[in-house]
Structure 1
């Protein structure tokens, strides 16, 4: 309307004046100054938003709830549920739940990070912001491809920029190759003499030294993902990451700290589901799994005191904790799998252990992204395989286990594991090369608690720990733990050509189809 009014005024001016000024003001008059463009949008905002969305803070499809908790935490037997719609406990198929990361990830996480890269790629004043963005893009895309296999990658996020709303699904091997190259190039391009990114970076507040360490640690994670399908390439990239310089202590851990008073967009999403707005723990939707509690108890793990309490009595004594077995329901006396019939049922379902809300389910808690403990455990595996990663398998294993215990204080200052407790644990459970891969990856399973995306991926890659699948009557994926999540049903119609090409290349869109790096 503003442009129309301006034109009306101009028509009353003599023609000569109009002609002399028209070309000067035409572009200005026909520009919608209320629309966001690459020229008017602050690039750093896109980084902040992409990082926050990556932690699950999206209000619409609850991907953290549906994939990370409802599916992966239960499938990986760290949590347990008797509630029917908590589908992962029995591997039952819910297409909408399992597809939610894909559904939400592209229009939120991917869009923002691709917009950032598009804005900063050719502008030298944003050199560090651009390269931090490249590393963030790898974080986002590596989770998506790990969950689904072949996914849109090279053409992802270009709907707004280039009008491409039907992107191709890239081959996962090609995706991995590009992500690794991107990490290498971005790490080398970070320059302390260039732009300062600052607090808009929710992970490291622009600390380039830590971003470089994160890039090379992420390179080790991605390299090790290929250990089953391409050991030679895995070795090359893990060794390159180790040489580049990785996270060196728990203070280097990559995480986002949340604001508890900011409402849904800023609170810790996992905490909001487990103890806040939806209160999954309080409502009895989720308990700690027997597999997880038994592992902690049998190894006298000092972390258990901070993880667990009996729901009914709030007893936190480690020896008194009782994990709920996976694969049971509350369908009544006629159900052979009713929890009341479970072996050693404690007499009351609320006498099972739940996660301590005060430590791990605070609205202002952290969302962990990648840790020193995880990196050291992967380096331990590299050393165990005879790769040149600096240090021995035992040294890296010791570092990894120690860090996994010490990092609990980042969730709550009271969660202190002393040096003496760590030493006692390592003395009782020394590293043994004969069982090294099992030890390392079982510790990785424990160290990655709450980041069930990563627990699921490393379990598929390493085949440790040896989880016993749940057998349950009905929809149970044939009694096999799923190997991937499911594409959204809408892709079959909205992007049919590329969706069908992916299905042809990768396999049927079901839980049993393995992604490229998980081939047997």
Structure 2
């Protein structure tokens, strides 16, 4: 009897198990989870990923002496001209993980799909932008094999020379921009230009102009040819067409978020930057800066004691640690170093401020230099120069209505600070420095390329170098991809802040 009961029990279990297994796969399949994604949304992810990280504030923007902090620790970098690989790696990791990984995948997905050819070429342009930023900051980088871990299982990519990278960047930008087909599929879901291919073409040719100008020292013949193609193709010439990432409360500007959180009272406009603007009665100083009069601490930096008055703004001298900043503030008659001028975090560095990638102002100024060099024949140097200054002043008003500069103020500035042909290169590239405010990688790149503005080396006594010429590689690369990193170092030079990139001669 017990055996019969046992057999019945086993039979019941088997029947029940069989019943549970019936339609098991169907029951355990998530019918609402996406199994694929339209690649245009991956392009959007790549575009958002191009926003400059906090490391760009500490290094790129600090190197060109626009914003600096007296503090050490996590935020030490260009304030002391010292290597801090926790921050020099941010751009590298962010761009490879969030930009290049996505652009590589989109290009692979659309390679053999003629109906998505425009998407492929838009993506090639974004990828070229990201690689240009990376190589300009670091020099030799994984380019031809970079970002191919998923598609080709290349986990230890070879590093390529900047010379080889620029040759291919110019090819990519030339081909991709020319191949955009106005009669082809309109990718209206893209967040940069809503599928407007005319604007995408202007973006591509603007990057080509930038790439050509990078070669001004090392290969002026090629530089002139590339610049001519870019200008003839049509670059961005209005603020409405600026290539920018629009941020909102859900997708905040990384630097804006940083400066409105724990670091709100730790970063200040520098003395060289403030003095240059104030000494020329530049209305941009009032549009950019805020001073909290009498503030003795961060909590005392309130709207009640803020002023935009340019005559009140005092920039923080370079080369100070925390104690030095206290002494410098006292010597200047300030209540504390919290009374030094800041980039206004309620206007230009608010959480939702756009992140500008390429602007009309920058293009006008590059064209002014190209005209000065005789590389283009249309227009005059002075016309391009004035248009560049005017475009940047108007651009500030698109960030926040509190930063609007009137036409009469712009006219007065240009009248009081006229273009002088004998100082063309200095004036053009110093204006480019101002125009690229908060666009750290571009300001840093053009400063090295042009040599302007003429900045005094950071005087901090414990500095590693007088001027930082490049960022150092991430420790993760050194430890994991060591063979290829060492090959790059052997060809390029020591992995330190002093080694120059190829085009910086």
Corresponding residue of 2:384: 396
Corresponding residue of 1:205: 194
Alignment of 1:31-110 (within 5 A): 40-56=36-52, 64-66=53-55, 68-85=56-73, 86-110=76-100
Corresponding residue of 2:411: 423
Shift of 1:431: 1.4
Measure, in 1, the Cα distance between the counterparts of 2:325 and 2:206. 44
Measure, in 2, the Cα distance between the counterparts of 1:512 and 1:188. 38
TM-score, normalised to structure 1, is 0.86
Secondary structure in structure 2 of the residue aligned to 1:137: helix
Shift of 1:338: 4.9
1:274 matched to 2:256: no
1:119 matched to 2:109: yes
Measure, in 2, the Cα distance between the counterparts of 1:368 and 1:104. 17
Aligned match of 1:494 in 480, 483, 489? 480
Contact 1:308–1:355 under 8 Å retained in 2: yes
1:514 matched to 2:504: no
After TM superposition, the runs of 4+ consecutive aligned structure 1 residues lying more than 3 A away are none
Contact 1:82–1:339 under 8 Å retained in 2: no
Corresponding residue of 1:224: 213
Contact 1:80–1:325 under 8 Å retained in 2: no
Shift of 1:318: 0.9
Measure, in 2, the Cα distance between the counterparts of 1:222 and 1:235. 11
Secondary structure in structure 2 of the residue aligned to 1:87: coil
Contact 1:307–1:355 under 8 Å retained in 2: yes
TM-score, normalised to structure 2, is 0.89
Contact 2:433–2:453 under 8 Å retained in 1: yes
Residues 44 and 459 of structure 1, relative CA distance in 2, 3 Å threshold:
same
Contact 2:236–2:359 under 8 Å retained in 1: yes
Contact 2:325–2:337 under 8 Å retained in 1: no
1:441 matched to 2:429: yes
Residues 492 and 300 of structure 1, relative CA distance in 2, 3 Å threshold:
same
Corresponding residue of 1:304: 285
Shift of 1:350: 2.2
Alignment of 1:2-13 (within 5 A): none
Residues 306 and 501 of structure 1, relative CA distance in 2, 3 Å threshold:
same
Alignment of 1:134-173 (within 5 A): 134-173=124-163
Which ranges of structure 2 fall in alignment gaps of 5 or more residues? Answer: 1-16, 296-304
Shift of 1:33: 8.9
Contact 1:238–1:389 under 8 Å retained in 2: no
Which ranges of structure 1 fall in alignment gaps of 5 or more residues? Answer: 1-7, 13-27, 57-63, 332-336
Measure, in 2, the Cα distance between the counterparts of 1:220 and 1:157. 25
String of CA shifts for 1:91-129, please: whole Å, max 9, x gaps: 111122112211232122110111111111111110111
String of CA shifts for 1:271-327, please: whole Å, max 9, x gaps: 10111x33x23xx21011111110110110011111112123312111111111111
Q: Considering only aligned residues, what root-mean-square deviation do their CA atoms show, in Å?
A: 2.4
String of CA shifts for 1:343-364, please: whole Å, max 9, x gaps: 5252422221111122112222
Residues 350 and 492 of structure 1, relative CA distance in 2, 3 Å threshold:
closer
Contact 2:244–2:356 under 8 Å retained in 1: yes
1:319 matched to 2:319: no
Corresponding residue of 2:9: none
Shift of 1:414: 3.3
String of CA shifts for 1:489-511, please: whole Å, max 9, x gaps: 22223112211110111011000
Measure, in 2, the Cα distance between the counterparts of 1:107 and 1:417. 38
1:374 matched to 2:359: no
Shift of 1:192: 2.0
Contact 2:316–2:325 under 8 Å retained in 1: no
1:294 matched to 2:275: yes
Corresponding residue of 1:24: none
Aligned length: 472
String of CA shifts for 1:421-475, please: whole Å, max 9, x gaps: 111111112211211100000000000111111110100000000010112222x
Measure, in 1, the Cα distance between the counterparts of 2:45 and 2:175. 24
Aligned match of 2:240 in 251, 269, 274? 251
Secondary structure in structure 2 of the residue aligned to 1:327: coil
Corresponding residue of 2:12: none
Residues 115 and 345 of structure 1, relative CA distance in 2, 3 Å threshold:
farther
Aligned match of 1:193 in 158, 168, 183? 183
Shift of 1:237: 0.6
1:182 matched to 2:172: yes
Measure, in 2, the Cα distance between the counterparts of 1:140 and 1:389. 30
Secondary structure in structure 2 of the residue aligned to 1:255: strand
String of CA shifts for 1:57-91, please: whole Å, max 9, x gaps: xxxxxxx112x111122221111221113321111
Shift of 1:341: 4.2
String of CA shifts for 1:233-277, please: whole Å, max 9, x gaps: 1111111111111112111111011121x2xxx1111110111x3
Secondary structure in structure 1 of the residue aligned to 2:503: helix
Shift of 1:413: 2.5
String of CA shifts for 1:127-155, please: whole Å, max 9, x gaps: 11111001000111100010101101111
Measure, in 1, the Cα distance between the counterparts of 2:254 and 2:90. 15
Aligned match of 2:327 in 340, 343, 366? 340
Contact 1:239–1:389 under 8 Å retained in 2: no
Corresponding residue of 1:467: 455
Measure, in 1, the Cα distance between the counterparts of 2:448 and 2:50. 22
